Amino acid sequence: MTRPDYIPSLDGLRGIAALLVVLAHVGLIFPTASAHLTTMGSEAVGLFFALSGFLMAHLYGSRPVTRENVLDFLVSRFARIYPVYLAAVLLVAMLSGMQTLDFVQPITGATDFVRHVFLLGSSGVFWSIPPEIQFYLLFPILWLCLARPHRYSGMIVGFAVVVVVDGLLELPGPGIMLFSKLPYFLFGALAGKMHSYGDQWAPSALTGIFTLFLLAAFFTYRHLVPGLSPEFWSLQSAVAAAVIVGLVARQPPIAGYVLAAAPMRFLGTISFSLYLFHVPIMFLVHRSFESLMPEPALIGVALVVAVGGAWFLHETIEVPSRRLLVGLWQHHRWRVTAREIPAERIEQAILDLQETEKHLLSGAPSVTAVERQVPPPPELWEGINRDGDNGDEKRRA
């Protein structure tokens, strides 16, 4: 990838988190193996939330908060998440309807199915998608705070109050509502905003070693020191997740090499499809071959098939659907923009044209909107720069 805003080590971090979620569910499908597994799924999802907040602030925080940019953001995020999510919901609903299969994380009945379609369901891994979408809907407000902190200081105080209340109430993490997960997104977004100010800092190899140590401690501390914090979801873990994401984004030596390695980046690329589909894929492998091979070998086969299936679904559903929806939006975006041009700008453009016409007839030099550094309204230049806009959106997607 050659995008200037692409950070390879974050792809690797996402890949590790996705793999840990997969391993956390091995015991769900292979019960005899559950006694030998240490699950770190909650930590991985918390890291996903912080990473999402970081990337939104990093990719969009420095851009002007215009209606067009906000619509670009919402369409891009919807296209990134919903089509492949809906495909996973349909697959799980189909498996759940087969009584003989006894699927491990079923969607039970039509009402439950409708809840999942409208992002209100919590079956299996699907519980984490509604808070993600809710954060995207909230982000334009946070975007204003990041772009103009002095003007929107009251909103910033409001976000801080929410974080404090969340910490005092010790709200549970799992669930489809954003409130109890908001600190992960907010601290991640803060790390993303701070990342743009760290260009002068060149991390050392010692920083890289510390980053890997902190990452390992983040995933294992509950199991190594169970009395320290039996529950994962807390303000402390939200801060730790944001610090880890911020350090990894600097791509320090050693840590950067490990996390930006090709296998890690591959897992990061397919991570969303792997996250959504690994349970049904491994379940089907188990049911199909449980009598043909010992369980340890079957677990290995299930993991390989899950990764391969996630790659296939990423290439056939996730990427094409995203490109289709973003492409359709790019093709019709100018219509929305044209409707939103203020009347005074249209009037000014007409006056500029009339003035230019008078000067041309009189032979005198004209003073146009361009010379006054006032951009012409898009409705008078239908189609201008649309190729450039498409290129920018492809880079952002």
pLDDT band at 256 (very low <50, low <70, confident <90, very high): very high
Model confidence at 199: pLDDT above 80: no
Model confidence at 362: pLDDT above 90: no
Domain-by-domain residue ranges, the chain? Answer: 8-339
Sign, CA dihedral 374-380-386-389, equals: positive
Find out whether 154 and 144 touch, Cβ atoms under 8 Å. no
**What average pLDDT does the segment 236-247 reach?**
94
Residue 17: count of CB within 10 angstroms of its CB: 26
pLDDT band at 373 (very low <50, low <70, confident <90, very high): very low
B/e letters for 158-175, b = 16+ CB within 10 Å, e = fewer, are ebeeebeebeeeebebeb
Model confidence at 395: pLDDT above 60: no
Mean of per-residue pLDDT scores for the chain: 85
pLDDT digits (tens, 9 = 90+) for 101-141: 999 999 999 999 999 999 998 999 999 999 999 999 999 99
Model confidence at 397: pLDDT above 60: no
pLDDT digits (tens, 9 = 90+) for 64-78: 999 899 999 999 999
pLDDT band at 147 (very low <50, low <70, confident <90, very high): confident
